[in-house]
């Protein structure tokens, strides 16, 4: 029984006949081949334009960039497992390949069963790794929420301004420690080539989706609009009227995370307190 194609695979192979043979095998096994690249440059382009869950890469390619170089470039931006398929197994080549932390290394000519099992194991390991990351992210989110809930009851409207400033500074450092890497990883902001004028609109859209999802996971109720979102219910709705520091904490989370994107956007924050649940609105004025 052929599996429903789910896992998306990129083939890097400059021999057309070999690439076609591999693609036919993957199609038969139920995988989705997003593209076949005959050069390192083409492989990078396909990776940038498609969602990829595994790379099968020959090492020796035509041109200045070999398969190891291509995988290294792709791995700088995407966390994708790779299996090398190659007839070259000398120590120097193997040492270079190991630096990219591959999930497998299959020598040509390979047995179909060996290749099939290597792919299944690589995808399974990656699935376990993804679940471990998700569990860690959930733990970080719970840690941030616990910090906010456990620290703020002692903060009243009578607290001294210098104590408020110190608390917000400590909270900002704590938030950055727990959330900066998570946002960079999820929005793929570590690649400098991703941060340019053409992508600013896309980054802002993805950022708003990310930050509203973060608030939702913390237990907030959110309404979204074009280049804005509104918090209609927060963790401290019954107590927020007594102390505006709660709103300042939300503002700090948005200001910090927006700064991490490095895009030219101004953030505006307004809040409405009163007998009804408070509304805290964040809007973004883009210059692009």
Which two tokens mark 167?
């608390």
Closest CA to 13 of 83, 78, 74, 79: 83
Cβ atoms within 10 Å, residue 273: 15
8-125: CATH superfamily: Response regulator (3.40.50.2300)
Rounded to the nearest 10 degrees, the angle between the axes of helix 161-187 and helix 197-218 is 120
Closest CA to 42 of 78, 17, 12, 16: 12
Cα gap 61→50, rounded to integer Å: 21
Distance of CA 104 to the CA centre of its chain: 24
- The predicted model gives 200-212 an average pLDDT of 88
How far separated are the first and last CA of the chain, in Å rounded?
51
What pLDDT shows up at residue 2? 44
Give residue limits of the domains in the chain. Answer: 8-125, 155-286
Between the alpha carbon of residue 33 and those of residues 9, 22, 113, 125, the distances in Å are 5, 10, 19, 20
Main-chain phi, psi angles of 158, to 5 degrees: -95, 0
What pLDDT shows up at residue 25? 92
The architecture CATH gives domain 155-286: 2-Layer Sandwich (3.30)
CB 206 within 8 A of CB 288: no
What is the band of 95 on the pLDDT scale with cuts at 50, 70, 90? Answer: confident
What is the band of 76 on the pLDDT scale with cuts at 50, 70, 90? Answer: confident
Main-chain phi, psi angles of 31, to 5 degrees: -95, 160
Note the pLDDT tens digit of each residue in 213-260.
999 888 888 988 888 999 888 776 655 555 566 778 889 999 999 999
Between the alpha carbon of residue 150 and those of residues 147, 158, 235, the distances in Å are 5, 18, 12
């Amino acid at each position: 029984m052929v599996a429903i194609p789910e896992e998306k695979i990129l083939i890097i192979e400059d021999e057309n006949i070999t690439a076609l043979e591999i693609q036919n095998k993957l199609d038969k096994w139920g995988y989705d081949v997003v593209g076949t690249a005959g050069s390192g440059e083409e492989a990078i382009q396909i990776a940038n334009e498609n969602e990829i869950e595994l790379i099968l890469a020959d090492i020796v390619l035509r041109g200045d960039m070999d398969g190891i170089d291509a995988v290294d470039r792709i791995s700088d931006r995407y966390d994708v497992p790779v299996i090398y398929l190659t007839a070259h197994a000398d120590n120097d080549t193997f040492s270079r390949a190991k630096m990219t932390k591959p999930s497998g290394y299959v020598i040509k000519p390979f047995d179909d069963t060996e290749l099939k099992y290597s792919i299944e194991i690589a995808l399974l390991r990656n699935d376990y790794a993804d679940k471990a990351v998700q569990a860690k992210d959930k733990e970080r989110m719970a840690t941030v929420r616990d910090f906010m809930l456990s620290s703020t009851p002692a903060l009243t409207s009578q607290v001294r301004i210098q104590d408020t400033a110190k608390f917000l500074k400590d909270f900002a450092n704590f938030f950055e420690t727990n959330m900066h890497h998570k946002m960079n990883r999820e929005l793929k902001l570590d690649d400098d080539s991703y941060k340019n004028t053409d992508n600013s609109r896309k980054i802002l859209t993805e950022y708003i989706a990310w930050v509203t999802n973060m608030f939702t996971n913390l237990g907030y109720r959110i309404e979204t609009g074009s280049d804005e979102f509104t918090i209609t219910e927060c963790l401290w709705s019954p107590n927020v009227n007594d102390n505006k520091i709660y709103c300042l904490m939300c503002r700090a989370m948005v200001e910090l995370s927006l700064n991490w994107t490095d895009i030219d956007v101004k953030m505006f924050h307004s809040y409405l307190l009163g007998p009804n649940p408070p509304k805290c609105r964040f809007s973004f004025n883009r210059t692009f």
